[in-house]
Structure 1
Amino acid sequence: MSTHFGATRGRALAVAALAAIVSSVITGPTAAAADGDDGREGNDGSHARYSDYWGVIARNTIGSPVAELRNGPFGSFGVTGPSAAPPYGRGSLGIEVADNATTLSPPSEKVDFGNEVDFFGDPVQGLRQVGFHVFQTGENVDYGGPGNMPNIRFEIDPNLATAPGDNYSSLVWVPDASPVTNRWSGFIDATSSGYWYLTGNEAPACNQAAQCSLQQMQAALNDGGAGATILTAAVGKGRDNMWIGAVDGLRINRNVYDFEVGGVRTYRAR
């Protein structure tokens, strides 16, 4: 079973005759550049890599929401210091969803910005570090209360011994209220704050009505079956209240994902 957690997958060589040449390039001094290194150092001095596989997950999007890689936000006005800029680089993932914009029930929008490739097959039991930074506004609190926040979602195959034919559920983290508004928060740790739940009937003790910690969720999924595996990973919002804000520095285990206008860069966390 794969345990790489988001490492960018290699691509097959299209022309076999070039294999020796390509191999000499990627094993030499320019290996980092060949893997998407832009020369910028991460928190631990390591260099960032780009992953090609991040974007809006179309089948999980309802209405016409926005999930766009953008510069900033910088501010709000009058805010200075570290909380006035994204925690990584100059950009972030901007998210906009409306609460009453569709003809469906409920009428609210939904969006997932995620990766359907790099995490596929990774074990849910291997999740150890998860979280992000958020740019929350006072208006978002007015729209839906202090708990009106974006989520982290993993689509998973539960692989439960008690339900061998059930191959799909969403594992969702709901954060606590942001500690600040109209500026960037510090890192919000999904392993020690907020709550987790599963969609469907896979774990009755860990659903929206019976909220769990990540550790309780992992225990509920560990029933002797093959072991739950990840299908996709995403940051999302909806379907509930209107929310307009941003997320950056998504962490999944040792990797931190820096959302920039030019793409999603990956750093090793300390």
Structure 2
Amino acid sequence: MDLVLPCFDTKGVSVNARFRVKRKVVLGVTALVAVAASVVPASAAPSPDGNGGSSDHWGVITRNTIGSPVAALRTGPFGSFGVTGPAARPPYGRGSLGIETADDATSLTPPSEMVVFGNEVDFYGDPVLGLNQVGFRVFQTSENVTSGGPGNLPNIRFEINPHLAGAPATTYSSLVWVPAASPVVDRWSPYLDATTTGTWFLTGNAGTVTGCMQGTPCTFQQLRTALNDGGPQPTIYTAGVSKGRDFMWVGAVDGLRINGTIYDFEADGVKARRVG
């Protein structure tokens, strides 16, 4: 049964427009210079009709970026050559978030790059356990599969305060979705649903306490249960798309969905589209 809380963000907008809290608390995410573009116009909230809204709070999260990766709003990709129909173009508009990472471009251990393109403002303080729809569409290539296997894909990453009763001193963890293999390559994928496919893990001590670690990841439902340990409600710090530290990857992401909003990555900005 839904329990709607009268909570408001700093703009006076109810967070219940994006998040609903369940009675059972639920879910719950080197030696070169980072190159990235993240120019976005207009206001941070969706427009009243749910289309054409935009956010100026999306961009590369610099403190989480290592090496010289690229995370840039771009036009396309269109293709690959010979591909026609809807899979040959970005699923929303004409643009996407282009991502490029290397596997061994740094002298760190492991010697790999990482980039996070996200939003450090609009989700701050929202309930992790209010997440109910998460996912995106991806442009995967056969070269990426050759580099790191079929699971070599970007992630969805939420930085959170887990508020675990079993670890009250732990105030930070990354909540990370690891997608299953894309069903297609060299073209745009269908929607990859992070609530029903792939696995999730928590970094740091929160992963150890819950058992949802990178080496022993959990399903979406298992993670929701693990975070519901009787402590205060976990809250979000940031939300975004990430890649690394692992294999070389060159591709694109579009249509990031977080609950009732789809974030359409375009060359001139990030558009917030309400799910109809």
TM exceeding 0.5: yes
SS in 2 for 1:70: strand
Conservation of the 8 A alpha-carbon contact between 2:158 and 2:240 = yes
Equivalences, count: 241
Q: Which residue of 1 aligns with 2:186?
A: 182
Matched, 1:166 2:147: no
Give the unaligned 5+ runs of structure 2.
1-6, 9-13, 19-41
Conservation of the 8 A alpha-carbon contact between 2:76 and 2:96 = yes
Matched letter for residue 258 of structure 1: D
- TM normalised by structure 2 equals 0.83
Structure 2: distance between partners of 1:179 and 1:135: 11
Matched letter for residue 207 of structure 1: M
Conservation of the 8 A alpha-carbon contact between 1:124 and 1:218 = no
Matched letter for residue 236 of structure 1: S
Tell me which of 144, 169, 178 is aligned to 2:148.
144
Measured after TM superposition, the shift of residue 47 of structure 1 is 2.0
- TM normalised by structure 1 equals 0.85
Structure 2: distance between partners of 1:156 and 1:218: 14
Say what the alpha-carbon RMSD is for the aligned residues: 2.2
Residues 179 and 6 of structure 1: CA distance in aligned 2, closer, same or farther (over 3 Å)? farther
Structure 1: distance between partners of 2:46 and 2:231: 42
SS in 2 for 1:118: coil
Q: Which residue of 2 aligns with 1:228?
A: 234
Q: Which residue of 2 aligns with 1:80?
A: 84
Q: Which residue of 1 aligns with 2:202?
A: 198
Give the unaligned 5+ runs of structure 1.
8-33
Structure 1: distance between partners of 2:146 and 2:73: 25
Matched letter for residue 54 of structure 2: Y
Residues 218-262 of structure 1 deviation map (CA, whole Å, 9 limit, x = unaligned)? 111111111110100010100000000000000000000000011
Q: Which residue of 2 aligns with 1:10?
A: none
Q: Select between 107-116 and 160-169 the one with higher mean Cα deviation.
A: 160-169
Computing the radius of gyration from Cα coordinates, the structure with the larger value is: 1
Conservation of the 8 A alpha-carbon contact between 2:44 and 2:56 = no
Conservation of the 8 A alpha-carbon contact between 2:46 and 2:274 = no
SS in 1 for 2:146: helix
Q: 4+ residue stretches of structure 1 with deviation over 3 A?
A: 34-39
Measured after TM superposition, the shift of residue 204 of structure 1 is 3.7
Matches within 5 A, 1:1-270: 1=7, 4=15, 35=43, 46-202=50-206, 203-270=209-276
Structure 1: distance between partners of 2:44 and 2:235: 27
Structure 1: distance between partners of 2:126 and 2:92: 26
Q: Select between 192-201 and 241-250 the one with higher mean Cα deviation.
A: 192-201
Conservation of the 8 A alpha-carbon contact between 2:50 and 2:272 = no
Matched letter for residue 216 of structure 2: A
Measured after TM superposition, the shift of residue 208 of structure 1 is 1.3
Measured after TM superposition, the shift of residue 209 of structure 1 is 2.1
Conservation of the 8 A alpha-carbon contact between 2:46 and 2:272 = no
Give aligned-pair identity as a percent: 64
Q: Which residue of 1 aligns with 2:22?
A: none
